Amino acid sequence: MPSVIIIGAGFGGLAMAIELQRNGFHEFTILEKAADLGGVWRENTYPGAACDVPSPLYSFAHEPKPKWRQRYSTREDIWAYMRGVAERHHLLDAIVFGAEVTEAEFDESTGRWTVLTSDGVARTADVLVPAVGQLSRPAMPSIPGIGLFAGASFHSAQWDHDVKLAGKRVACIGTGASAIQYVPEIQPVVEHLTLFQRTAPWVLPKFDTDYKPVHQRILVEIPGMPVAERFSWWLIGEFVALGLVEFPGIVRMVSRMAEKHLEEQVTDPVLRAKLTPDYPIGCKRGLFSSNFYPALCEPNVDVETTAITEIVPEGLRTADGVLHEADVIIYGTGFKGTEFLWPMKIRGRASRNLDDVWSDGAHAYLGITVPEFPNMFMIYGPNTNLGVGSIIYMIESQARYIRHAIQLLAEHPATYLEVLPTPERDFNEALQSRLARTPWNFCTSWYRTPSGRITNNWPGTTRSYRRRTRTLNLTDYTFTPISS
């Protein structure tokens, strides 16, 4: 049986391990750089951290949880769910914690990968599955003087819980998916909050609700109800996803909903003008919140849209020369989403460096595998992120596809499997052509590289991706006999 090294113990790594386990493949190791599993749900501990995908859909299809506490689960509940899944499948013994991968290299003579971790340990396996996600490395802004600030400062993904915010003047930089969750949580306790906004986000109401015992009982006692609930949320996501490429009328409908949400919650015309996006909805990640706008309307909050020119010991200076004094700075400035697998050094056949192959932007066949890198298959790789829907659905599709590849390797011993350049090129050319018709082209966002290439998102429904990955077409690949 082929041996497998999985990098990362988040949703992707767990999905891959369970897929292997359920199909009789038990020779796998999960390398996790942290001291516990969970990925972003372990790391992001900021106040209010929660998912913006309904819980019934943001979970494994084979591991439903009828007793979610609320429709949009908190990070604590999601993390606990992940731990429960790992424990039920006895995966903890397969995880090596504190093992940060620094390098991986393919050896053509043996058909195996050698993986090095930061502690100097080398491990080998037939198959390499990086499952490190796209949103795991915080991005800091390049503002002059960023190291000069005299007070406390931290990125929202590295929240410093030792810093007490009560009674403090807090400057929050950024208005993305994290900020709209933590700003309403900290606003009531701080003396003053200044929110520095570069571009206004599109915000839709978040129809959250606590799941009452009667709801949980229905899901447990009525056959088929968990599947029906999951299917209904999946169908809504698929409907909206169609609007991003095929049916712009759907996007216009969503846009009107967001505009009405802003109008109803922000009555001050000056503040509402600041919070009105100047780009088409869908171009950046859509956000969901019913308490973000009300928090910004409170008297101890200012929304500042003038660009920050420098950070000084006392606070932040904007382009109009105004000094905004602060005791704490919180950077809600997102992640380095286009630097796939960085900072790991991945070398394929003939020591080909993956950074060189991706010098113009990451690309992969089906977002999973790259020519010249045999027996390497990614979870949540290039162009598999979603504008709407559950990424776990995509992850499950990828795990099944990779398991098919591993089964083929088991059936063809003493060979390695590599995608051919032509199918990979044709797939990505068609992909970029389709992406050109999406709203993601009409503004600057983390979806795009500096050159403008969209390397993150899948331009279609999750169903269309599952259809593409349902079977592995051997005409797209080549088997190479191992020389030794």
Q: What is the pLDDT of residues 292-334, one digit of tens each?
A: 999 999 999 999 999 999 999 999 999 999 999 999 999 999 8
Mean pLDDT computed over 73-89: 96
Are 400 and 429 part of one and the same domain? yes
Residue that finishes a domain, picked among 283, 310, 331: 331
Domain total for the chain? Answer: 2
Are 177 and 98 part of one and the same domain? no
Report whether pLDDT(338) > 70: no
CB atoms within 10 A of CB 342: 15
With beta carbons less than 8 A apart as the criterion, state whether 260 and 185 touch: no
Are 324 and 265 part of one and the same domain? yes
pLDDT at 279: 86
Residue 156: inside a domain, yes or no? yes
User: Please, what is the end-to-end C-alpha distance for the chain in angstroms?
Assistant: 18
Are 165 and 104 part of one and the same domain? no
Helix (H) or strand (E) holding 318: strand 315-318
Buried b / exposed e along 202-215 (16+ C-beta atoms within 10 A): bbbebebeebeeeb
d(CA 80, CA 333): 27
Residue 223: inside a domain, yes or no? no
Are 384 and 471 part of one and the same domain? yes
Residue 210: inside a domain, yes or no? no
What average pLDDT does the chain have?
A: 92
Are 351 and 305 part of one and the same domain? no
Residue 240: inside a domain, yes or no? no
pLDDT at 442: 76
Residue that finishes a domain, picked among 299, 331, 363: 331
Are 456 and 380 part of one and the same domain? yes
d(CA 275, CA 381): 33
Report whether pLDDT(175) > 90: yes
Mean pLDDT computed over 335-360: 87
pLDDT at 101: 96
Residue that finishes a domain, picked among 270, 301, 331: 331
Are 324 and 432 part of one and the same domain? no
pLDDT at 16: 98
Are 439 and 357 part of one and the same domain? yes
Categorize the per-residue pLDDT at 484 as very low, low, confident or very high, splitting at 50, 70 and 90. low
Residue 239: inside a domain, yes or no? no
Categorize the per-residue pLDDT at 84 as very low, low, confident or very high, splitting at 50, 70 and 90. very high
d(CA 318, CA 305): 9
Mean pLDDT computed over 265-269: 96
List the CATH number of the domain containing 186.
3.50.50.60
Residue 218: inside a domain, yes or no? no
Are 58 and 109 part of one and the same domain? yes
% of the chain surpassing 90 pLDDT: 74
pLDDT at 157: 92
Residue 298: inside a domain, yes or no? yes
Residue 73: inside a domain, yes or no? yes
Report whether pLDDT(200) > 90: yes
Are 385 and 442 part of one and the same domain? yes
% of the chain surpassing 70 pLDDT: 99
**Which of 127-136, 405-414, 450-459 reaches the highest mean pLDDT?**
405-414
Least confident window among 189-193, 196-200, 356-360: 356-360
Are 342 and 357 part of one and the same domain? yes
CB atoms within 10 A of CB 264: 10
pLDDT at 273: 97
Segments forming the whole domain that contains residue 299: 152-202+245-331
